[in-house]
């Protein structure tokens, strides 16, 4: 999986489903071309984004807001990989923490790729300030079994207590991201609803108490079916939650939400 950013187009590369390898017309449309490399074991589809991301009657007010942001922006991020996620992924990497670290760096790079989409107008770099791989859940970071509201509050308290308050401190970060292997849920009408894959309050990036988000990684349902947070698409989940925090910072409206299925505002 991956993205290729060209001057006037964005390409998304995804594996071709086995059932479609002999029927390229089933996956072909005006924005899709199939390129087959016989040296690879797996076929891929390269998708081109639609040429028009905004309605024709748009007054492009959002573009003007983007132009007001000068230069490149940087988001300083701290990532906390919890015990549940560690127990989930560690066996796949032969309990090698360096390989888990490499996986998380790829994960963060995928998030940054979304924030380099040309339609944003100004790219946002992600600077990774801290990366904690948690083998045993801290006593002051209860996870509440994945209940989303309590877990978000728990993490916000935890990361805020460890974040140096002064922005001039090289160890200070703008936002904390809690990556969990738990299936996040909420209780609605007395029943457990596991539709949640991430959670953040809207805005508040500049308020230390609320500069925090949570997101699933590697989670499946009770039947073992993967959620969108289980694989490469997990970067969309994290980018979505981060977007809730930065949407109004520097007057930027993330106009490419239309292309990514209302990624940031839905």
- Annotated catalytic residue 241: yes
Residue 34 is encoded by which pair of tokens? Answer: 């199939």
Return the residue matching tokens 């807001």.
Answer: 65
Edge to edge, the sheet with strand 175-180 lists 124-133, 73-81, 175-180, 212-216, 198-200
Q: Which of 76, 83, 159, 241 is catalytic?
A: 241
User: How far, in Å, CA of 162 to CA of 167, rounded?
Assistant: 13
User: How far, in Å, CA of 193 to CA of 214, rounded?
Assistant: 17
User: How far, in Å, CA of 53 to CA of 240, rounded?
Assistant: 18
* Integer CA distances (angstroms), 71 to 60, 66, 78, 125, 201, in order: 20, 11, 23, 11, 27
Helix segments in the chain, DSSP class H: 61-67, 83-89, 97-114, 148-162, 234-246
Catalytic residue set: 241
């Amino acid at each position: 999986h991956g993205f290729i950013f060209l001057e006037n187009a964005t390409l998304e590369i995804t594996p071709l489903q086995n059932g479609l390898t002999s029927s390229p017309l089933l996956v072909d449309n005006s924005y899709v071309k199939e390129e087959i490399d016989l040296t690879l074991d797996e076929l891929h589809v390269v998708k081109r984004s639609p040429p028009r991301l905004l309605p024709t009657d748009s007054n492009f007010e959002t573009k003007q807001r983007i132009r007001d942001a000068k230069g490149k922006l940087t988001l300083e991020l701290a990532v906390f990989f919890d015990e549940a996620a560690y127990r989930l992924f560690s066996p796949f990497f032969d309990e090698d923490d360096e390989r888990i670290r490499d996986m998380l760096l790829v994960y963060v790079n995928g998030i940054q790729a979304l924030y380099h989409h040309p339609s944003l107008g100004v790219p946002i770099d992600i600077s990774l300030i801290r990366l904690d791989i948690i083998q045993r859940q801290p006593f002051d970071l209860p996870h509440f079994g994945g209940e989303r509201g309590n877990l978000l509050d728990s993490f916000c308290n935890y990361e805020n207590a460890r974040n140096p308050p002064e922005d001039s401190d090289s160890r200070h970060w703008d936002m904390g991201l809690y990556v969990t292997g738990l299936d996040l849920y909420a209780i609605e009408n007395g029943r457990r609803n596991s539709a949640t894959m991430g959670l953040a309050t809207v805005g508040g990036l500049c308020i230390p108490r609320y500069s925090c988000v949570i997101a699933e990684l590697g989670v499946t349902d009770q039947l073992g079916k993967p959620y969108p947070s289980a694989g490469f698409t997990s970067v969309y989940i994290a980018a979505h939650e981060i977007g809730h925090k930065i949407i109004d910072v520097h007057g930027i409206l993330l106009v490419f939400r239309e292309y990514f299925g209302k990624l940031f505002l839905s």
